[in-house]
Amino acid sequence: MNATPAPSDTAQSDAVETTGSAQTEAGLTPARLHAQGVTIGYDQRAICEDLSVEVPDGRFTVIVGPNACGKSTLLRALSRLLRPRRGRVVLDGRDIHGYPAKEVARRLGLLAQSSTAPEGISVADLVARGRFPHQKLIRQWSAHDEAAVLEAMEATGVTDLSGRLVDTLSGGQRQRVWLAMVLAQQTSIMLLDEPTTFLDIAHQVEVLELCVRLNREQRATMVAVLHDLNHACRYADHLIAMKAGRIVAQGDPREIVTAELVEEVFGLRCRIIDDPETHTPLIIPRSGIVTAPRTATTIHG
């Protein structure tokens, strides 16, 4: 279990056999971030039991699954917010709970789901708070801090908003600002908990394309929890499908996403077609209602 958690896990879960280089690489050197047989939950209720998962280095991993399948819980455990009751989460060869809190924050960043911007804070002020893990009591704003904040705002395209108040921004702009704060933290692993919730379709695409660009340009390891399966297929290069606290399938979405898998995971009958734009799988739900195409006459009549 401790040597190669990911392959053994797929074998257990009798689902789609995965190929893809992540597993083969992982077999040689374990991924920087992985969970070994973790049982996690709130109070007495276990949401995931004996779960092992590996986050492939340098990839954009997306975790999908129906509501309450444990995907956000898993992300919280991976980011040290939840302590597993059994098993452990390993970061760079050591139990993640064995590090000082600030040390973890220098290696792993998290875009949390429920963050609040203090009233009256400007964009740059908020992004600058991402520098906390690098600051000391008497070194609050070094030239390096300043450079990191500038770079993070540049990468997320919020430099022009720098002096604006966060309260006055649109949802999409605000999400880019929070992302900039995580970037300013300068970690090589970034976890994003539902980064597109509450955004309209254009802003969802904008944020996801930004994530992909950051993943490629900064060679950062990224993990996101997403609700939209089509977005996941389109932007992830490693997909983890979860159901009822266990992993049903993982791998390149172009190889693992089938109508059977979607039905098994989400209980949704669907057709899979080729996304004409990105040539990734596109899920078209089947409809129970038989509808004839509406013509002008039916509308007027």
Size of the site for another protein (CB under 8 A): 57
Nearest residue (CB) to another protein, 33 versus 262: 33
Is 142 one of the binding residues for another protein (CB under 8 A)? yes
How would you class 14 by CB atoms within 10 Å of its CB: exposed for 0-12, middle for 13-18, buried for 19 or more?
A: exposed
Question: Given CA atoms 169, 196, 109, 244 in this order, what sign does their dihedral have?
Answer: positive
Taking every pair of Cα atoms in the chain, the longest distance, rounded to a whole number of angstroms, is 76
Task: Report the SS3 class of residue 77.
Answer: helix
Which residues is 271 bridged to in the sheet? Answer: 284
Question: Taking CB under 8 A as the rule, does residue 5 contact another protein?
Answer: no
The 83-112 contact track toward another protein, x by CB under 8 A, reads: -----------------xxxxxxx--xx-x
Q: Does 118 bind another protein (CB under 8 A)?
A: yes
**With 0-12 CB in 10 A as exposed, 13-18 as middle and 19+ as buried, what is 134?**
middle
| Residue 159 binding another protein, by CB under 8 A | yes
- Measuring CA to CA, which residue among 223, 217, 247 is closest to residue 237? 223
- Note whether 138 binds another protein by CB under 8 A: yes
* Contact with another protein (CB under 8 A) among 80, 88, 176, 231: 80
Q: Is 46 in the site for another protein (CB under 8 A)?
A: no
Per-residue binding letters, 178-217, with another protein (x by CB under 8 A): ----x--x-------x------------------------
> Measured from the CB atom, is 47 or 128 closer to another protein?
128
**Residue recorded with tokens 């098994």:** 264
Report the DSSP pairing between strands 60-64 and 221-225. parallel
Residues of this chain that bind another protein (CB under 8 A): 43, 76, 79-81, 100-106, 109-110, 112-126, 128-130, 132-133, 135-143, 145-146, 149-150, 153, 159-160, 162-165, 182, 185, 193
